[in-house]
Amino acid sequence: VQQPKPQPLANGPSTASILVSTRQKGNPILNHIRNMPWEYADIPADYVLGATTCALFLSLKYHKLHPEYVYGRIRALQGKYNLRILLTMVDVEAHEECLKELSKTSLINNVTIILAWSAPEAGRYLELYKTYENAAFTSIKGHQSTNFSDRLVEFVTVPRSVNKTDALGLVSNFGTIRTAINAQPEEISLIAGWGEKKVQRWCGAVREPFR
C-alpha cells in the first residue's frame, strides 16, 4: 500500500494571538490591546478572537457618512463564525437613531452589538473575548446555594432595599413565605426596620403579575 506523502504545514498566524485585519492599521484601539498578543492577518473580519469568534469595528461617525458599509461587511461573514460581534464606537452626540437601526440589523443578522465610548474600552472588550475563548460556561455561571435558608433569604431580598436582616425578620414574624406574601401592608409595617417605602416595594413585587 502506497501511503500519501505528508505535506509540510504552512506557518500560519498564531492561535494565541488576536488576529487583526490590515484594514485596521491606524485604528487607535490597537494601542490599547496590551494584555494579549496580536498580529496582522488576511481575514474577512476586522478581528478574529477565536476559532469561532470574530469582530467587526464600526465608528458611528463613519457609519453616518457611509451607512451601507456595515451591511456589506456583515454579509461577507455569513456562515464563517458562530459568534459575530459588531464592536461599535459611539463617537457622535446624536446616536439614538443610529443605534436603534444597528440593533435591528444585529437581531436580523444574528450579530452581537457591543458599544464602546473610548478606544481603551474597545480594546479591553477584544482582550476579554480572547481571554475567555476556551473558558467553560461555569466561569460566568452564578453560584446558587442549595441550603434552604440561604435560598429563602435570596428570594426575599429580590425587591430593592430589602436586605438579609429584613428577610429574616419577615419570615420569623410570619412563620412561612406563603403567610408573608399574603400578609397585608399594615401587618408588615409592624416589623422593625420595615418602613413605608420598603413595605410598598415588597408588596408590589409579590403581587404584580409574573409577566
CATH code for the domain of 178: 1.10.150.20
Q: pLDDT higher for 45 or 6? A: 45
Average pLDDT of the segment spanning 193-209: 87
85, 121: one domain: yes
Task: Give the pLDDT band of residue 54 (cuts 50, 70, 90).
Answer: very high
> Is the domain of 127 the same as that of 96?
yes
If asked whether residues 128 and 153 sit together in one domain, one would say no
Question: What is the domain-level CATH number for residue 48?
Answer: 3.40.50.10130
Would you say residue 13 lies in a domain? no
Query: 130: closest CA among 58, 74, 48?
Result: 48
Same domain, 128 and 45: yes
Range of the domain at 165: 148-207
How many domains are there within the chain?
2
Edge-first strand order for the sheet with 53-59 is 38-41, 18-21, 47-50, 53-59, 83-89, 112-116
Binned at pLDDT 50, 70 and 90, residue 164 comes out as: confident
Which of the four pLDDT bands, split at 50, 70 and 90, describes residue 153? confident
Do 65 and 120 have their domain in common? Answer: yes
132, 164, 195 - which closes a domain: 132
Residues 33 and 110 occupy one common structural domain: yes
- Residue range 4-25: average pLDDT? 68
CB-neighbour burial class of residue 47 (10 A; exposed 0-12, middle 13-18, buried 19+): buried
What mean pLDDT, rounded, does the chain reach?
85
Domain final residue, candidates 97, 132, 167: 132
Does a structural domain hold residue 142? no
The pTM of this model reads 0.61
Same domain as 120, residue 28:
yes
Query: Which span out of 55-64, 167-176, 188-197 was modeled with the highest average pLDDT?
Result: 55-64
CA 136 and chain centroid, separation = 16
Pair (114, 38) in one structural domain: yes
- How does residue 125 score in pLDDT terms, banded at 50, 70 and 90? very high
* 99 and 38 inside one domain: yes
Residue 87 bridge partners (DSSP): 57, 114
Q: What digits encode the pLDDT tens for the residues 69-104?
A: 999 999 988 878 889 999 999 998 988 998 999 999
CA angle 26, 74, 17 (to 5 degrees): 50
Q: What is the pairing mode between strands 18-21 and 83-89?
A: unpaired
Q: Do the domain assignments include residue 156? A: yes
Q: Are residues 127 and 23 in the same domain?
A: yes
